[in-house]
Structure 1
Amino acid sequence: MKTQLIWIALMLTVATTPAHAINAHYRAQLERSGCTEMNANDGSCDIHKTKAQNAAQHSTAAGHDPLREATFTSDAVNATISNGFFNATINGKKATVKRLNAHFYEIHGNGFVISLSIDENGITAASWNKTTGRNHGILQVSQN
């Protein structure tokens, strides 16, 4: 009986102790820098800088827009995309833009699917496929 009570008391002690996910030094760095754990871990915020330095870094990065207007051409397809990748046309007809993830978009319309790969500098690659059949090709990209 005594060992059972000791065992229960030990389990309750372990269960009630607070579990801190981060230590005090790391918490202080986060507060000083204005970062959260999420943006400090994904690289968008530097915990070794001050709030002002991180804010200045974000304001200069926001000036460049990789999702600006672009034109895609090949012998079979002429397409445009604009307005932050919300408006698109394929061979002069309205098309829909689908965001698959932060670095990959698709444009669907007029019997074609155009696939786009982007990074922080803009569009890195573009290709097209017919929705029926096996026709496909590479697109020449011109960003404005």
Structure 2
Amino acid sequence: MNKAILPALVILIAAQAPAYAINDKYRKQLEQSGCTQVSEAQGCDIHKSKAENAKAGFTNPALESATDPAVDTAITPTPYAGQWVAKSEAGKTVATIRIDAKEQVWVNGERVNAKRTDGTLQFRHGKFLFTLQGDRRLQNQDYWMDSDAGTKGPIQIE
């Protein structure tokens, strides 16, 4: 008897359909109301309009900036914006980096092209490759590498 229960249980578990967090109707209600699942748990009413929920203090800035072209991207700043300093292991300044709100990058006053890749912003200046982590909660993850000399060092925000 016990020998039949275990294989039957394994087959039952393997044959189960995946569970999805929300269905299509609920997703549409969230979109029309301007709520998220988190804000709904905090009191946002999915049966009201976006305007009514906004009056009540519930807004979804990520959704608004993605759907409304009038929303300025400068309101949601990039995590890379600011003055940065690349230093050697000895503490000497290797480069000064400036990044504006549109993620335009200048290294030692010279404009360089930058690209986002895997949650980082990467750019080159000469033989140096600079990598800045997008998640500012992660410490000591910003670095530079010299491809010729094989050296690397930290980058710190000022």
Number of matched pairs: 110
Structure 1 residues 94 and 110: CA distance shift in structure 2, 3 A = farther
Aligned 8 A contact 1:93 1:110 in 2? no
Identity across matched positions, percent: 10
Correspondence 1:53-132 to 2 at 5 A? 53=53, 56-58=59-61, 63-67=75-79, 69-73=81-85, 74=87, 75-85=93-103, 87-101=104-118, 103-119=119-135, 125-132=141-148
* Structure 1 contact 66–122 (Cα < 8 Å) conserved: no
Q: 1:30 aligns with which of 27, 30, 34?
A: 27
Structure-2 separation of matches of 1:89 and 1:111: 15
| Residue ranges of structure 2 left out of the alignment (5+ in a row) | 1-18, 66-74, 88-92
Task: Please report how far the alpha carbon of residue 31 of structure 1 lies from its aligned counterpart in structure 2 after TM superposition.
Answer: 2.2
* Equivalent in the alignment of 1:46: 37
Deviation of 1:139 after TM superposition, in Å, equals 1.2
Structure 1 residue runs of 5 or longer lacking an equivalent are: 1-21, 36-43
SS of 2:28's partner is helix
**Conservation of the 8 A alpha-carbon contact between 1:81 and 1:89:** yes
Aligned to 1:10: none
- When residues 110 and 80 of structure 1 are mapped into structure 2, their CA distance, relative to the original with a 3 A threshold, is farther
In the alignment, the residues of structure 2 paired with residue 116 and residue 110 of structure 1 have an alpha-carbon distance, to the nearest angstrom, of: 17
1:35-88 alpha-carbon deviations (Å, 9 max, x no partner)? 7xxxxxxxx942855262497122699643234631111221211122421x21
C-alpha RMSD of the superposition: 3.7
Q: Is residue 66–residue 123 contact of structure 1 (8 Å, CA) maintained in 2?
A: no
Higher strand share: 1
What is the identity, as a one-letter code, of the residue corresponding to 2:120?
A: F
Q: How many Å separate the matches in 1 of 2:127 and 2:102? A: 23
Relative to the length of structure 2, the TM-score reads: 0.53
Structure having the higher Rg = 1
Question: 8 Å contact 2:121–2:133 — kept in the other structure?
Answer: yes
Secondary structure class of the residue paired with 1:138? strand
Aligned match of 1:39:
none
